[in-house]
Amino acid sequence: MSTKQPPEIREKRALLRTERYYKLLTEKCAETGLGISRDLVYLVHMSSLQVIGRELNQHGVVRIPHVGTIALVEQKSRPAWCGKMRVRLPARKVVKMIPDYLLRRIYNAKKNHALSVYRHTRDEVFPEYRDKLLYPHADVRKK
């Protein structure tokens, strides 16, 4: 049986909480000159989640640009122990996420993996895509 960590340990972790998430999104929009309020950021975020949920219910797969693919996959029924008895858990639908190729390449190259250090650095892999992903509104051009 899993145990919950004490609240003070959970609070010390730098997890992105709801208020901080919307605050950072609002600040990012203010940096780009869009000047979007926090309420509008909240509405855009929630409407995108509603679109994702609707597409998952209708088609079972959602492809989100620059993020990845989210799929609703059926997990097979499987045996489990319930005390001393063996029971069969029924099949159920589970959400799976496959990250986008560029997102994986950028963040996997951050690790000091022997092959990634030997072959190339992160900047040599996809410099134009990396700049577009990390700084979408900045005019970053190498001269």
Q: Which residues sit opposite 64 in a β-bridge?
A: 68
Residue 83 has pLDDT above 60, yes or no: yes
**pLDDT confidence bin for 118, thresholds 50/70/90:** very low
State pTM to two decimals: 0.61
Helices 101-108/127-134 angle, 10° precision: 100
The mean of the pLDDT values for the chain is: 78
**pLDDT confidence bin for 95, thresholds 50/70/90:** very high
**pLDDT confidence bin for 138, thresholds 50/70/90:** low
Q: Which residues sit opposite 88 in a β-bridge?
A: 79
Condensed to tens digits (0 to 9), the pLDDT of residues 7-57 reads 666 666 667 788 888 888 888 888 877 778 888 989 999 999 999 999 999
Class of domain 60-99: few secondary structures
Rounded to a whole number, what is the largest CA-CA distance in the chain?
70
| Distance between CA atoms of residues 140 and 122, nearest Å | 17
Average pLDDT over residues 113-124: 49
